[in-house]
Structure 1
Amino acid sequence: MSTAYELDRKHVFHSWSAQAEISPMVITAARGSYVWDDEDRRYLDFSSQLVFTNIGHQHPRVVAAIKEQADRLCTIAPAFANEQRAQAAELISGIAPDGFEKVFFTNGGADANEHAIRIARIKTGRFKVLSTYRSYHGGTQTAINATGDPRRFANDTATTGTVHFFGPFLYRSEFHATTEEEECERALQHLRRTIEAEGPQTIAAIILETIPGTAGIFAPPPGYLAGVRELCDQHGIVMILDEVMAGFGRAGSWLALDLYDVVPDLITFAKGVNSGYVPLGGVIISDPVAAVFDHTPYPGGLTYSGHPLACAAAVATIHTMRDEGIVENAERLGREVFGPGLAEIAERHACVGEVRGVGAFWALDLVVDPTTREMMPAGALNEIVGASKSAGLLPFSNTNRIHVVPPCTMSDDEAREGLAILDEALKVGDTHVR
């Protein structure tokens, strides 16, 4: 047993875990699409850790940028102007739709959503925030209450002004829909009625993951986000799109919203902006919202907002993604490798209820009864994860699903290697199908 493991178990308090019931893997090295454990076993990383190493591990160009910035200026308070912070803001606003010139930097995605909600509340003078049940927006107080998944339960104070509704998800429809068109129409009607029942004059914002990630990677049906935009405009509600997981190449586009005909008021980001090499997140603010604070101080900030090392990593990451065609590679991987490959896997395995995704952003919805779509229980899912790891694949799993979310830089051969391992591991899942 390694010293790192012993020290970890003695001193490190892990998130989302019962401390005495976990045995964390020790990772000692990483490069490209692979990581190595403390016994020098190599694993193909199909998780991108927590879906953030979009440019792969240890990209030399980004590592060099961090080192160069550390030699020049490790840190500076956010009240000062700094070259890397300014360049990062210019590049990030440049990938947003027209009319988004300002970026407020945070330390990650949760506080990005916290501040987006605060901005919306100040702009509107209202307090309530609507979000979907199948969602994840972060672990800080407002963000976890806006989150819809069960991790919210133990943190839900019922005092944060968050109200939940059901978004569209045809495979597990709450609206008895049989087509995408029905699901879209009925989900929008449900949201419309929720707004009416809550009182539109009380609602500051609607926050949505453009493509929900941790909750299951299900893209909204055509017309849904445009319908939400219309409802927001009708009632003076701020529309926030959470691009923390889906953005920066993950969906095969710079932002997932590029796939839809919609422009929100605020866009939150983190993770892929610099592949998590140094913590960074933020809010991209539309010009009309930013103008609210032209002569009124914004009542919020963070000590490390726009940290130079993080921003240097972001600048290098964005330039690298452009120069190496990484966004295009993610799109092609989804279209040519993951889409067809996962469809073939679904045909071979009764435990795969549905495959869905885009770019380097896919989910396998695992079931024990294909007819009723009853979810695969945690124990059976853990067996599949264990079989994958034993064969050298590091998967991402949640609830009843395996998510295929590798680095956007992954090669075709690496992708097919991972699919082959997953294909074999799913035989374990088939033994649980009734």
Structure 2
Amino acid sequence: MRDVSPDAVPSAGAAPPVAAKSAAARDDRLHVLHSWSAHGALDPLVVTGASGVHFHDESGRRWLDFSSQLVNVNVGHQHPKLIAAIKAQAEVLCTVAPYHANPATSEAARLIAEVAPGDLNRVFFTNGGAEAIENAIRMARLHTGRHKVLTAYRSYHGATAGAITATGDPRRWASEPGAPGFARFWGPYPYRSAFHAATAHEECERALAHLADTIMVEGGQGIAAIVLEPVIGSSGVLVPPDGYLQGVRALCDKHGIMLIADEVMVGFGRCGEWFAVDRWKVVPDLITFAKGVNSGYVPLGGVIMSDAIAASFESRAYPGGLTYSGHPLACAAAVACIGIYKDEGIIDHARRLGDEVIDPALQAIQKRHPSVGDVRGLGVFWAIELVRDRNTREPLVPFNASGADNAPMTMFAAACKQQGLWPFVVGNRLHIAPPLIIDEQTMREGLAIIDEALATADRYCVG
């Protein structure tokens, strides 16, 4: 299963005594090990229900979910069609071994292939995004007969052994040394260019030149795959300059390298397209997906592969598998979810909301607050990057900050929560990722709360 860093949900400080808690909270503290958390200070919210773009805790307090939990509840909480599909499937067949075929799995695969770009027509199902990355890398290695894999420094690909090694950001540090065969490169980030670029065009050209040089010194003939998030997710919501993904595709073609697009977070409408690569009309060799495929109602992920890669396993067995691959309940949820995307026009809505509501609102917020250094995004996936000084672009908190160093972001997140908005805070950024079904008025209400909460960050500004 994919997850996020510990600073994605700010610490609440010292946890209350266990005896003072509800039964659910007591049992959680005594028996549940939470991911990415130091348990001595952990005080998780006990969530007891949800509907649409809101969820509520055991006290009855309602929160506007501006993180879609972990950027996965794309069609909102408790969608009746999704619930009905899961119930209907449970009445027929709850589970089956993956060496069988069943209607839910077959239909889910067909529908996913129909919305995937190019000739990506075959689906290998997993339980989540990290397993999808593991298997996509394995497929690329087997197909090419090569071993090395290139990934970006600003990336997150999951917390299993291979996926965490593929990850570029600090979440991999505690797991090092990792799996062999990985090398990293710098991707484009116009606001903090590693290439001293002054324009988006320069950033694109220089990032591609850097990648070409990395391929040269790593030995293109030995590289099986380049793994990248078409729009960087929890490592920054970084939208590539136009031409970059096309350039990566061309470099892969030149050297016989497989292009793996990690669409776990940004696929299925999050960026206003079925898949983020569709915006640039780029066809990868493999796409990994999870989260939005069924909005997280039942764990599901997978790899969509090209016909050429699928052909590699026509006469030889693919040496990998999972007990719950193609799980009927999860796949029935995917079938229903894809239908909801189509029937309710959710992907077009996400694109319009980003272009006509979120983008102009964030531009206005940036003008009002000296702490806002940059705003960027697509669809219903945006970031506000906070700084102490707009001129020097010094981040509001240091890279990989924790404890007292992270206090300004903790205070900002707390200010959002006080007004009933649940934020997605990572590093020196607020990521804006509510369910795609959010209406314009509610979106504006959430942005108004953020606008007000930014006063806490403004206090730290020196320029």
TM-score range, shorter chain: over 0.9
1:139 to 151, 155, 159: 159
In the alignment, what sits opposite 2:417?
389
2:321 to 296, 301, 305: 301
1:416 to 412, 423, 444: 444
Matches within 5 A, 1:67-78: 67-78=87-98
Q: CA deviation at 1:160?
A: 2.4
In the alignment, what sits opposite 1:85?
105
SS at match of 1:220: coil
In the alignment, what sits opposite 2:4?
none
Instruction: Check conservation: 2:382, 2:431, Cα contact below 8 A.
Output: yes
Q: CA deviation at 1:101?
A: 1.3
Instruction: Check conservation: 2:151, 2:166, Cα contact below 8 A.
Output: yes
Q: Deviations over 1:150-180 (max 9, x none)?
A: 0011112144211111000100100000001
Residue identity in the other structure for 1:193: D
Residue identity in the other structure for 1:280: L
Q: CA deviation at 1:201?
A: 1.6
Matches within 5 A, 1:8-157: 8-157=28-177
Q: CA deviation at 1:292?
A: 0.7
Is 1:210 aligned to 2:238, yes or no?
A: no
- 1: CA distance between counterparts of 2:314 and 2:332? 27
- 2: CA distance between counterparts of 1:55 and 1:233? 36
Q: Deviations over 1:49-98 (max 9, x none)?
A: 00000000000000010011011100001100100000000000011113
- 2: CA distance between counterparts of 1:100 and 1:244? 16
Runs of 4+ residues deviating >4 angstroms: none
- 2: CA distance between counterparts of 1:302 and 1:159? 20
Which sections of structure 2, spanning at least 5 residues, go unmatched? 1-20, 398-405
TM-score where L is the length of structure 1: 0.99
Q: CA deviation at 1:379?
A: 1.1
In the alignment, what sits opposite 1:337?
357
- 2: CA distance between counterparts of 1:356 and 1:403? 10
2:299 to 263, 268, 279: 279
TM-score where L is the length of structure 2: 0.93
Aligned-CA RMSD value: 0.8
SS at match of 2:184: strand
2:457 to 426, 429, 433: 429
SS at match of 2:83: helix
2:378 to 358, 373, 396: 358
SS at match of 1:164: strand
- 2: CA distance between counterparts of 1:10 and 1:372? 46
Q: Deviations over 1:275-297 (max 9, x none)?
A: 00000000001001111111011
- 2: CA distance between counterparts of 1:264 and 1:243? 11
SS at match of 1:167: coil
Residue identity in the other structure for 2:233: G
SS at match of 2:454: helix
Q: Deviations over 1:200-242 (max 9, x none)?
A: 1221100000100101111111111111111111111111001
- 2: CA distance between counterparts of 1:278 and 1:287? 28
Q: CA deviation at 1:40?
A: 0.6
Residue identity in the other structure for 2:317: P
- 1: CA distance between counterparts of 2:179 and 2:62? 46
More deviation, 151-160/164-173:
151-160
- 2: CA distance between counterparts of 1:386 and 1:394? 9
SS at match of 1:101: strand
In the alignment, what sits opposite 1:349?
369
Cα distance change on mapping 1:271 and 1:159 into 2, 3 Å: closer
Instruction: Check conservation: 2:161, 2:179, Cα contact below 8 A.
Output: no
- 2: CA distance between counterparts of 1:132 and 1:148? 6
Percent of paired sites with the same residue: 58
Q: CA deviation at 1:143?
A: 0.5
Residue identity in the other structure for 2:69: Q
Q: CA deviation at 1:7?
A: 0.8
SS at match of 1:9: helix
More deviation, 45-54/217-226:
217-226
Q: What count of residue pairs does the alignment treat as equivalent?
A: 434
SS at match of 1:283: strand
Which sections of structure 1, spanning at least 5 residues, go unmatched? none
Instruction: Check conservation: 2:165, 2:179, Cα contact below 8 A.
Output: no
Q: CA deviation at 1:26?
A: 1.1
- 2: CA distance between counterparts of 1:169 and 1:18? 31
Q: CA deviation at 1:261?
A: 2.6
- 2: CA distance between counterparts of 1:159 and 1:83? 37
